[in-house]
Structure 1
């Protein structure tokens, strides 16, 4: 199952168009508190992995009616989380290159 991906530029355009963008940051709370995208929601990847192990839909309050853009540091964890959430009928897209790529992109603007 191929995940949809979004480049930092595409995400930036969506935010500018003021679309209702739901961003899920799956990094640890420390990293999230240190730096994150505006309006992002933090659910550490460990919680999503536990949901998979327990094979429950867990109590993750994520919208099923919106596209969820998943971000991590480089994109690897986000991809794993996207695979798990997609199995639970969430509409997920991965931020390509993660926040590392996002920071590079915003620096070059």
Structure 2
């Protein structure tokens, strides 16, 4: 099973367009509240890991027919969560390098 990835640059370009993206931030609430990509929703990884254990979908609000971009701090937890969501037939893509790479990319835009 291969999970799609998107770079911060590609995500930024897509966010500038008309496309409505679903951004899923799987970090804990405290980290999410400190900084997150605008328009993202917070579903902590513990909730998604619970799907694997219970086998039940408790995330009825997440769209199955629409791509979700999954983020975390560095991309590792997002990849694990994406694998679980993919197994439950969600369309998922992981932000390469996570929020750390996103912040660095946005910072580089400001420096130009």
Q: TM-score, normalised by structure 2?
A: 0.94
Aligned partner of 2:32 in structure 1 is: 32
CA distance in structure 2 between the partners assigned to 1:9 and 1:96 by the alignment: 10
Q: Look up the match of 1:11.
A: 11
Q: d(CA) in 2 for partners of 1:54 and 1:22?
A: 24
Structure 1 segments unaligned to the other structure (5+ residues): none
Q: Which residue of 2 aligns with 1:20?
A: 20
Alignment of 1:27-106 (within 5 A): 27-106=27-106
Residues 19-40 of structure 1 show CA distances to partners (whole Å, capped at 9, x for unaligned) of 1111000000000011000010
Q: Shift of the alpha carbon at 1:60? A: 4.3
Give the CA deviation at 1:59: 3.5
Q: What displacement does 1:55 show?
A: 1.2
Q: Give 3-state SS (helix, strand or coil) of 1:66's partner.
A: coil
Q: Which moved more, 1:80-89 or 1:54-63?
A: 54-63
Q: Distance in 2 between matches of 1:55 and 1:62?
A: 16
Structure 2's unaligned 5+ residue stretches are none
Q: Which moved more, 1:81-90 or 1:53-62?
A: 53-62
What do residues 57-90 of structure 1 show as CA deviations (whole Å, max 9, x unaligned)? 1234201121000000000000000000001110
